Structure 1
Amino acid sequence: MSRNRKRVLIENVRPAVDAGLYPLKRELGDEVQVTADIFRDGHDKIAVWVEYRPQKRKNWQKVPMQCVNPGLDLWETSFKVDQIGVYEYKIVAYCEDYGSWILDTRKKVEAATDYASDLLEGIAKARNYGSWLTPVGREVLKKATTRAEKEADDRQRWQILSNERLVEMLEQNPDPAARVESQVFLAQVDRVKARFAAWYECFPRSCGFEPGVHGTFKDVIKRLPHIAEMGFDVLYFPPIHPVGFSKRKGPNNSLVCAPGDPGCPYSIGSQYGGHDAIEPALGTFEDFAELVEAADKHGIEIALDFAINCSPDHPYLKQHPDWFSKRPDGTIKFAENPPKKYEDIYPINFESADYKSIWKEMLRIFLFWAKRGVKIFRVDNPHTKPFAFWHWVIAEVQDKYPDVVFLAEAFTRPKVMKALAKLGFTQSYSYFTWRNTQAELIEYFSELTTPPESYYYRANLFANTPDIFPPFLQSGGRPAYKIRAVLAATLSTVYGIFQGFELCEGVPVPGKEEYLHSDKYEIRTRDWKAPGNICDLITRMNKIRREHPALQEYDNLKFFESENDRVLFYGKSMGDDHILVVINLDPFIRHSAFVHVPLEHFGLTPEQGYQMHDLLTDRRYLWYGSKNYVELDPQAEPAHVFVLRK
């Protein structure tokens, strides 16, 4: 009998990642919109709720779903997530016997047909609820059904049985035997900085003020006001641990290392310690704590690189020699990414028989730095380590520090990058670096910012990195830097630059996407006010981002029509805040275009004029209708960042 009462089907629950195999991603304060196709055989009424709770809580909260399209049996509702961590949610549905009886009987009452027999049926249906109601509910039910049974007048009897309070009580307490549940879905709720942030990457040793002199944490503190003025709120360091001496690399990854060469920070470990130590030339733990505190006062959070690399001098080599792969001749294998060779780096072998100890040690290192105020980690090459390890270690860290953010630095195959995001990485690198044309940008970002990818993948758009000097920047000069800065800051809600980008600096290694004299291998001192810098543009862009909620949402990106394929036109809206960006993608040539504003999207009529206020130049334009003309000179300003005002 119990199985026969479960007559509701729940299908196509959204949002869900791989049918609920992985968690949805949301941020603190978000409304999670839930939709599903829900129906039963016949025409009787059903009641549907979403039940949800933080995973560590016992009791469920519930919110009713509404049928928004009866013809398609489409139901929806939303619930707010107000706690960082993992939420559970599921859909619960019932056959609503009493509610169905009310609907059918009301039609007869209104049609003034005979319904005396229906009233007897209603009393019987109501009494069935007594077996599962609370004692108080049973008493209310008993009084109502007894009154109805004794009442001789059918109209009065109907009034008793259709009493709003009685109907509501019975609807809120349906037959448990008719309860149908969907599977339980998960939502990973992160702090808002997981979605909205501006990253600035720098090597602390290149933050000094004297040529050739190793920079320190105290030097970084002196740079904080300028970084904060530009509007960055995350300051990300490559590894700050002791750099190995054996096989230390010289400039440009040279095998020849002169006395005084600092080596590569990714070659971690020396007699001064390993991943839980600091390179002595940078300072002490006290200096680092002072830096974290000073950054916080400027509204900046420190992010650290987590690179599972070891120099030949790392303490692990002596403590755990079985953690490393050996060749048949007994030598330890160094890292390679053919044709690149990294003789100064020994990778840890995650297939070691002692792999459990490796996992526990990596967890210890994460927690070591989290305890010291580091709540953002950029993970180097996670795609070369086991998926199962990342799933485990991220969950373990966030169990103790729920606000920790993990960025996956994985430039690899799409499915691998997506898998890392599904398994727990908060943010991910992207192919933005190599998407330059109108068609490429529209195709790629339409994919990233719509379901299913937008359910779990937050793309952090780095305009450049210490390893990657894109051809577009190599050849396009200052206009190219401005173009990529505007694109990065507006296509995604989280983006970053590597130091020197704001100076439009960079000489490439001939024929490669690499910097000549990269900070990875030498100390560099810069003039941060050098002529030709784009600090003002970056400052304006970050200010615009902070002041406009439309640019703080990830999945609201829309592309609009441009009649010139060298001009990209797109926008973001949040409530009454509408940002529209028109950008010349050619760093060499002035381009014009007719662009088409989708008037209905903004609640405009063809006859209505509207103001387009360019936030980069503070110029205002009055546009009419959908089709309007723009002209952009890359030598002046390659982009308009408009706010649309009616």
Structure 2
Amino acid sequence: MTATPLSTPPQIPVGRIPVLDVSPLVDGGARPTKSVVAEPFLVEATVIREGHDAVNATVVLTDPDGAEHLVPMICTNPGLNAWEAVVSADRAGMWTFRVEGWSDPFGTWEHDATVKIQADVDTDLMLAEGALLLDRAAEDDARTPEGRAVLAEGAATLRDETRPPHVRLSAVTHGPVHAELTTTPVRDLVSPSTAYPLLVERELALTGAWYEFFPRSEGAVYDEATHRWTSGTLRTAAKRLTAVAGMGFDVIYLTPIHPIGSAAKKGPNNTLDAGPDDPGSPYAIGSPDGGHDAIHPDLGTFEDFDFFVAEARRLGLEVAMDIALQCSPDHPWVQEHPEWFTTRADGTIAFAENPPKKYQDIYPLNFDNDPEGAYAEMRRMIQVWIDHGVTLFRVDNPHTKPVEFWQWLIQDVAQDHPDIIWLSEAFTKPAMMRTLAKVGFQQSYTYYAWRNTKPELQEYVEELATETAHYMRPSFWPTTHDILTPYMQFGGPAAWKLRAALAGTLVPTYGIYAGYELMEHVARPGAEEQIDNEKYQYKNRHWEDFEPGGAREGQSLAWYLRRLNEIRRQHPALHWLRNITFHHVDDENIMAFSKRRVIPMDPTTGAPEHEDVVIVIANLDPHSTRWSRVVFDMPSLGLHPDEGFRAHDLITDQWWDFLRETMVRLGPDHEPVHIIELKRY
């Protein structure tokens, strides 16, 4: 019997100078690595070669026009061939990056000549070979005339027998010749890795402050005589934008503004006994007045929506729309396209469930029965809102829809509208959250609301800032219209300050749900959400009562949010995710971290290069004041271990002198958080 030969898997060429283990890659390079304009990120690779000749490496960034930008790499552990470089892209678009390994003839000669000439072995030969190498380098067409002149002079020096050999050698291994060959090296046997995709997006994809509200509540009026509500409108909601912009937010996020069905309509606190005047959940989308491409009649018209968007833009806000791909039983799609839903054995359409929760007023869409038709309709609907000025979409429960649908939709929209930003509201398993980010979502909700202790927060943020930072951008929300954790219910004002401050400084993007300023902390019994949830009823917060001269003046945290957003805008170190360092604190309830960023010289204004360093020290126990010792990692702050610095608290405007080891006091009878600007002496 003849044995069947084993098949050999295809071999991937390694190149003359092998380049291995390139990172960061998403799914092995099958999907783009992500960054935003000017955001630095670390590229790493293993680069090796045979023998003892010098090897070197370069990162090559190729911009959307095909121009190449070379960044030299450094070897971080010469014995193990690990190379790295920090790179960034200067404009948005689809780039690529690759690592090139190459033979370094100058590095080889420099090493050999230094050793041999010091030992007086082959001295004349080594100097002659060096001169020939410089002659060759000077012929490089990419070299400047000044560079050629420097190399020609170096070659002449090596041939000048009137000088001692060690002087001739030193003239080339130091000074202008060495600098020229470091800047524009001689690269032999250049061996590129695969070119991997790099998606560079606008800054708001990484950095921003969101504010969420229900438009129908802004301007809603309750009539005490008739016990009936009148809905707010897009016009009355637009009046609230001045206050939102005044607090320094970048994005105004609207919960769904579409017609709401009456079938199985939910009443207050998610009950099934809605009255005729109850508004129902805006997530039960669709009625005879229209579906996802329509506006609830109570809110106004598309003319009113355009007014709202224009007012937001005038105030420096971008508008985010909530997209919930689900339907009320009254949605036009239910009658026109029953194939887009799941029909049960008894002939009824399946409503949404998240046991023990039941959502009888919502039919989830099923994309498998008619994907071509359903996909096309979703794309058409999204375009309606883009055409009316929406630039961001917060997607409700995207993990309940096919991942391939989101990949197709986001990519299709990006072809014509690359500035559109998608936020994934997927509080689900990590694998799904990460996959949604990989296929296109620029931002993702996170587990931040449920990470309260120092070990929990530090471990989670380090994961987000390293392991997933090249494709998933976190958005931290202390509360939402569906989330009110026990920490927020019982932590008092210290907790509300603390969680906003951490959300706004641990990561570059965070969000606030309206009412946060008022510390609305009473939960519905048996649920981690607000009692009298705004999702099921109107809520007039009487903002005027909290303004100067109002009945509740001084009881709002609006001033704190305003100051937090001012700090975020003034300190570019807080605009990045990957630049965080945690510092030791003796007390397990106090956390300290810093962010540092070097700001290059501004050629427009002439402002010199400088550093921005922000330190945050937070007492995570909202119920007690604590003293503890902080031990700073001084090199991460750009300081020598023996140096001190001036610490300016950006919340209280206090100043202190800090050393490597410093005592701090934080708590509810003081301030729960120090946000500190580091100033050198």
- TM-score category by the smaller chain? 0.7 to 0.9
Q: Distance in 1 between matches of 2:453 and 2:57?
A: 47
> Could you say which residue in structure 2 is the equivalent of 1:495?
510
| Equivalence map 1:237-256=2 (5 Å) | 237-256=254-273
| Equivalence map 1:439-588=2 (5 Å) | 439-449=455-465, 451-528=466-543, 529-530=545-546, 531=552, 532-575=555-598, 576-588=611-623
Bigger CA drift: 474-483 or 629-638?
Answer: 629-638
> Could you say which residue in structure 1 is the equivalent of 2:198?
187
Task: Give the direction of change, closer, same or farther, for the CA distance of 1:155–1:35 in structure 2 (3 Å limit).
Answer: farther
Cα deviation code 1:225-279 (max 9, x no counterpart): 1111111111001111111122221111221121121111111111122111111
Does residue 1:308 correspond to 2:343, yes or no?
no
Cα deviation code 1:519-566 (max 9, x no counterpart): 111111012244322111111111111111221111122221222222
Cα deviation code 1:551-588 (max 9, x no counterpart): 11111222212222222222222232222222222222
> Could you say which residue in structure 2 is the equivalent of 1:93?
101
Q: Distance in 2 between matches of 1:260 and 1:252?
A: 15
Task: Give the direction of change, closer, same or farther, for the CA distance of 1:120–1:540 in structure 2 (3 Å limit).
Answer: closer
Task: Give the direction of change, closer, same or farther, for the CA distance of 1:70–1:271 in structure 2 (3 Å limit).
Answer: same
> How far is 1:603 from its partner?
4.5
Q: Distance in 2 between matches of 1:94 and 1:504?
A: 60
Does residue 1:81 correspond to 2:89, yes or no?
yes
Task: Give the direction of change, closer, same or farther, for the CA distance of 1:628–1:173 in structure 2 (3 Å limit).
Answer: closer
Q: Distance in 2 between matches of 1:606 and 1:67?
A: 26
Task: Give the direction of change, closer, same or farther, for the CA distance of 1:112–1:386 in structure 2 (3 Å limit).
Answer: same
> How far is 1:609 from its partner?
4.1
Structure 2: unaligned runs, 5 residues or longer: 1-11, 142-154, 163-167, 223-228, 547-551, 599-610
Does residue 1:360 correspond to 2:376, yes or no?
yes
Name the SS of the counterpart of 2:593 in structure 1.
strand
> How far is 1:479 from its partner?
2.2
Bigger CA drift: 391-400 or 80-89?
Answer: 80-89
Q: Distance in 1 between matches of 2:98 and 2:343?
A: 50
Q: Distance in 1 between matches of 2:211 and 2:14?
A: 59
| Equivalence map 1:16-31=2 (5 Å) | 16-31=25-40
Name the SS of the counterpart of 2:542 in structure 1.
coil
> Could you say which residue in structure 2 is the equivalent of 1:228?
245
Q: Distance in 1 between matches of 2:280 and 2:631?
A: 53
> How far is 1:98 from its partner?
9.0
Does residue 1:215 correspond to 2:232, yes or no?
yes
Q: Distance in 1 between matches of 2:646 and 2:15?
A: 57
Q: Distance in 2 between matches of 1:342 and 1:466?
A: 16
Is contact 1:98–1:122 with CA below 8 Å preserved after alignment? Answer: no
Q: Distance in 2 between matches of 1:32 and 1:279?
A: 45
Identity %: 41
> Could you say which residue in structure 2 is the equivalent of 1:378?
394
Q: Distance in 2 between matches of 1:467 and 1:419?
A: 24
Is contact 2:594–2:637 with CA below 8 Å preserved after alignment? Answer: no
> Could you say which residue in structure 2 is the equivalent of 1:644?
678
Instruction: Select the residue among 260, 274, 284 that pairs with 1:257.
Output: 274
> How far is 1:305 from its partner?
0.7
Task: Give the direction of change, closer, same or farther, for the CA distance of 1:17–1:120 in structure 2 (3 Å limit).
Answer: closer
> Could you say which residue in structure 2 is the equivalent of 1:613?
648
Is contact 2:340–2:365 with CA below 8 Å preserved after alignment? Answer: yes
> Could you say which residue in structure 1 is the equivalent of 2:145?
none
Q: Distance in 2 between matches of 1:270 and 1:106?
A: 83
**Alignment length (residue pairs):** 618
> Could you say which residue in structure 2 is the equivalent of 1:72?
80
Q: Distance in 1 between matches of 2:130 and 2:205?
A: 56
Name the SS of the counterpart of 1:205 in structure 2.
coil
> How far is 1:99 from its partner?
8.1
> How far is 1:31 from its partner?
3.9
Q: Distance in 2 between matches of 1:172 and 1:407?
A: 44
Name the SS of the counterpart of 1:87 in structure 2.
strand
Is contact 2:105–2:186 with CA below 8 Å preserved after alignment? Answer: no
> Could you say which residue in structure 2 is the equivalent of 1:205?
216
Is contact 1:32–1:81 with CA below 8 Å preserved after alignment? Answer: no
Task: Give the direction of change, closer, same or farther, for the CA distance of 1:179–1:402 in structure 2 (3 Å limit).
Answer: same
> How far is 1:63 from its partner?
4.3
Name the SS of the counterpart of 1:578 in structure 2.
strand
Q: Distance in 1 between matches of 2:297 and 2:267?
A: 19
Name the SS of the counterpart of 1:206 in structure 2.
coil
Q: Distance in 2 between matches of 1:472 and 1:379?
A: 26
Name the SS of the counterpart of 1:411 in structure 2.
coil
> Could you say which residue in structure 2 is the equivalent of 1:416?
432
Structure 1: unaligned runs, 5 residues or longer: 135-147
> Could you say which residue in structure 2 is the equivalent of 1:140?
none
Instruction: Select the residue among 627, 630, 638 that pairs with 2:664.
Output: 630
What TM-score do the two structures reach when normalised by structure 2? 0.82
> How far is 1:116 from its partner?
7.4
Task: Give the direction of change, closer, same or farther, for the CA distance of 1:101–1:546 in structure 2 (3 Å limit).
Answer: closer
Q: Which AA in structure 2 matches 1:485?
A: A
Task: Give the direction of change, closer, same or farther, for the CA distance of 1:486–1:101 in structure 2 (3 Å limit).
Answer: closer
Is contact 2:279–2:536 with CA below 8 Å preserved after alignment? Answer: yes
Q: CA RMSD in A?
A: 3.5
Is contact 1:101–1:122 with CA below 8 Å preserved after alignment? Answer: no
Bigger CA drift: 113-122 or 583-592?
Answer: 113-122
Task: Give the direction of change, closer, same or farther, for the CA distance of 1:42–1:604 in structure 2 (3 Å limit).
Answer: closer
Q: Distance in 1 between matches of 2:126 and 2:38?
A: 51
> Could you say which residue in structure 1 is the equivalent of 2:449?
433
> Could you say which residue in structure 2 is the equivalent of 1:144?
none
Does residue 1:396 correspond to 2:412, yes or no?
yes
Task: Give the direction of change, closer, same or farther, for the CA distance of 1:100–1:238 in structure 2 (3 Å limit).
Answer: same
Q: Distance in 1 between matches of 2:676 and 2:107?
A: 52
> How far is 1:313 from its partner?
1.4
Q: Which AA in structure 2 matches 1:321?
A: P
Q: Distance in 1 between matches of 2:621 and 2:121?
A: 75
Cα deviation code 1:418-472 (max 9, x no counterpart): 12112211111111111111222122212212x2222222110111111111111
Q: Which AA in structure 2 matches 1:192?
A: E
